[in-house]
Amino acid sequence: MRILAIESSCDETAVAIVEDGCSTLAECIASQASLHSQFGGVVPELASRKHVEAMPWVLEEVLQKAGLSLEEIDAFAVTQGPGLVGALLVGVTAAKALASVTGKPLYAVHHIMGHICANYLEHEAFEPPFVCLVASGGHSHLIYCPQEGLYQILGRTRDDAAGEAFDKVARVLGLSYPGGPAIESLAKEGNPTAFEFPEAKLGKDSYDFSFSGLKTYAMNRLHQAKQKDEALCQADFAASFQHSVVQTLLKQSLRACETLGCKRLALAGGVVANQTLTSTFQQACHKHGLQFFAPSKRLCTDNAEMIGAAAYRMILAGAKPSTSTLNAKPSWRIDEVLESIAMEAKGE
């Protein structure tokens, strides 16, 4: 089954053709990162306009690369949410038009399900049961999948997402947007134990995260240094901040695997493009006898292949295609989609 998938929830116009949910026939991403970096973050209005400009040629390029015509596509998939409404609408409109002219079904995908399913694209052995840590610019979730089609949210961030903390601290450090990669490269020359950061206290049984205290502490410490003309080593600061975020994410993930007796730990989302994070998790999994899965760097950040992979799993689980009334859902909660997947899996 060949699925043509579209992702346009934030600042990447991405299209891919994915076969049988696991192999990519062609893909193309038009990134707007350099445009938004001038403003220190994504400007929604500009993002929508750039998606409109890029969508036609990105689509054409993908079909050309794959050597396929629209008639040879079996189904379409699109990110319905969450994300920026104007940006999502461009993808949703394009996907509806394609489904309408070809008469092929269209599947609406939740962006986070896409991130999780990126693991299916590269790891044949990836299958439930697994615990998956999703850390992106807008989300930090710990999800348990005991069996195909059944997902349980163990924990989530109570305030800022991990990526948001990276982006905001990077801004105060004077680094470019997006902040995660900038902090990672600065941290390479720094000492991860040079600075100590506060740890959020969330109760011993909670799998939630909280990054706002850590972020505020980091930002205040940087402002304070500036006011006092204190020579603060930025590389040490970046390395220590990164270390603190990674340890928080790792601690909760390992505890979830241990408590649930789950032997597979997977990573997903833009923040896990961080090589220090993945190697720290990999070593910890090895030490604790856990199987470790993470998408390659390219598939951690937003892309359309993951949307195609997620749509394929939805089709396998018996999901119904969307109708022509499909609309963007900018605030679509992951809980809603997990509930409906579970109901579909039970045939309700």
Q: Is 160 in the site for ligand KG4 (CB under 6 A)?
A: no
- Compose the 84-123 pattern: x for residues touching ligand KG4 by CB under 6 A, - for all others: ----------------------------------------
With a CB cutoff of 8 Å and minimum separation 6, the contacts of 285 are 265, 291, 292
Of residues 81, 86, 155, 163, which one binds ligand KG4 by CB under 6 A? Answer: 163
- Compose the 93-132 pattern: x for residues touching Zn ion by CB under 5 A, - for all others: ----------------------------------------
Query: Taking the mean position of all CA atoms in its chain, how far away is CA 18?
Result: 18
Beta-bridge partners for 181: none
Write down the least CB distance from residue 270 to ligand KG4, Å: 2
Q: Is 305 in the site for ligand KG4 (CB under 6 A)?
A: no
Q: Which stretch binds Zn ion (CB under 5 A): 183-191, 252-260, 298-306, 330-338?
A: 298-306
Q: Is 270 in the site for ligand KG4 (CB under 6 A)?
A: yes
Of residues 144, 166, 195, 237, which one binds ligand KG4 by CB under 6 A? Answer: 166
The nearer residue to Zn ion, 167 or 302, going by C-beta atoms, is: 302
3-state secondary structure labels for all residues of 111-174 = HHHHHHHHHHHHCCCCCCCEEEEEECCCCEEEEEEEECCEEEEEEEECCCCHHHHHHHHHHHCC
Of residues 155, 181, 192, 308, which one binds ligand KG4 by CB under 6 A? Answer: 181
The nearer residue to Zn ion, 122 or 302, going by C-beta atoms, is: 302
With a CB cutoff of 8 Å and minimum separation 6, the contacts of 320 are 344
| Sheet containing 150-156: order of strands | 150-156, 140-147, 130-135, 264-268, 291-293
Q: What is the largest CA-CA distance in the chain?
A: 66
The nearer residue to Zn ion, 48 or 136, going by C-beta atoms, is: 136
Question: Looking at the chain, which runs of residues are DSSP E strands?
Answer: 2-7, 12-19, 23-31, 75-81, 106-110, 130-135, 140-147, 150-156, 264-268, 291-293
Comparing CA positions, the residue from 306, 333, 332, 298 lying closest to residue 77 is 306
- Compose the 302-321 pattern: x for residues touching Zn ion by CB under 5 A, - for all others: x-------------------
Interactions with ligand KG4, residue window 138-157 (CB under 6 A): 138
* Helices 85-102, 44-66: crossing angle, 10 deg rounding: 30
Of residues 13, 79, 93, 136, which one binds ligand KG4 by CB under 6 A? Answer: 136
Of residues 81, 149, 155, 178, which one binds ligand KG4 by CB under 6 A? Answer: 178
Residues in the chain: 348
The nearer residue to ligand KG4, 251 or 288, going by C-beta atoms, is: 251
Q: Is 12 in the site for Zn ion (CB under 5 A)?
A: no
Of residues 81, 149, 269, 295, which one binds ligand KG4 by CB under 6 A? Answer: 269
What is the rounded end-to-end Cα distance, in angstroms, of the chain? 25
192 contact choice in ligand KG4, Zn ion, none (CB below 5 to 8 Å, kind-dependent): none
Binding site for Zn ion (CB under 5 A): 136, 302
Binding site for ligand KG4 (CB under 6 A): 10, 136-138, 163, 166-167, 178-181, 184, 269-271, 273-274, 301-302
